[in-house]
Amino acid sequence: MRIGLLAGRTLREHHLRVLQPILADNDLEIALVVVDGRPAKSAGGKLIDHMRRGRGGYALVMAVQKCFGKPAPGMKVEEFCRVHRIALLETASPYSPQARAQIREHNLDLLVLVSGFGIIRETLLNVCPKGILSYHHGDMRKYRGMPPGLWELYNGETEIGITVQRLVAGLDCGIPIEEKHLPIYPNDTLGTLTARLKREDEGMLYAALKKMADPDFTPVPLQEFGKVYTLPNLRQWIILNARIASRRLLCRLFPHSAENP
């Protein structure tokens, strides 16, 4: 099966681990990487957008944390394609007829959204016979949108889903191809939960691709979808951290209540 990747200019370490079993399988061929070459919005422009939507406080907190954090290691897409002898297409107009025609020239069976691009527009969904696969860190029956794990912690859930979906029109309204559920522990933070999500999702794309390559596989669409969540405002962020701190304090006072992995 011939596969194309939709990606930004850099593949992070997590992306590379997800792609490793695919590259090792002779029945699966990554034949093309399509890079989103549109200019990125500046940090200031993003902050202004968030402020207009009432999320400026949270966005500022995230910006400060990012300044003090270490950049995630990874590999430039150009190097990845050179090492693995994969064709590269960088375009500033990924939805144009010309770009869609260039993708079709590679006779791909499906595309995989790895990074970049944002919400995929409908014009690209059917450019390949088997569509586009994408991760969603959440159970789409209850949680759509973003950020991963945040609203499950906010609402005191005891488990979280991970889904590899075939995209359709509408945010996180896709058809599940591969699903998994993980426990949320009483002493979890957003950091520990998102790290565990990344560890546990690494083999799921490969499993989904093997299913898609099976001519007898028929995916089952969902009959119901959950609420669409987005970035929190500052008040919600403070409430989230207060709830996390409260649960972690209870775990210290009553250690038997904590169930760490």
Tens digit of each residue's pLDDT (9 = 90 or more) over 115-149 = 989 899 999 999 999 999 999 999 999 999 999 99
Give Cβ neighbours of residue 159 (< 8 Å, ≥ 6 apart): 152, 181, 182, 183, 184
Angle at 139 between CA 55 and CA 72, to 5 degrees: 60
- What percentage of the chain carries pLDDT values higher than 70? 85
Q: Nearest 5°: phi and psi at 29?
A: -130, 120
Q: Is the pLDDT of residue 259 over 60?
A: no
Mean predicted lDDT score pLDDT of the chain: 91
> Residues of 187-217 as b/e, b for ≥16 C-beta within 10 angstroms?
bbbbebbbebbbebbeebbbebbbebbeeee
Helix 43-52 / helix 56-68 crossing angle, nearest 10 deg: 150
Tens digit of each residue's pLDDT (9 = 90 or more) over 21-40 = 999 999 999 999 999 999 87
At 254 the pLDDT is 86
Give the number of other Cβ atoms within 10 Å of residue 88's Cβ.
15
Any idea which architecture 2-43+72-257 has in CATH? 3-Layer(aba) Sandwich (3.40)
User: Are 104 and 127 a contacting pair, CB within 8 Å?
Assistant: yes
Which tokens belong to 203? 């083999």
Find the mean pLDDT for residues 223-249: 94
At 200 the pLDDT is 97
Find the mean pLDDT for residues 192-212: 97
Find the mean pLDDT for residues 14-20: 97
Q: What is the pTM of this model?
A: 0.90
Sequence ranges of the domains in the chain: 2-43+72-257
| Range in 6-20, 149-163, 195-209, 245-259 with the lowest mean pLDDT | 245-259
The pLDDT-based confidence of 62 (bands split at 50, 70, 90) is low
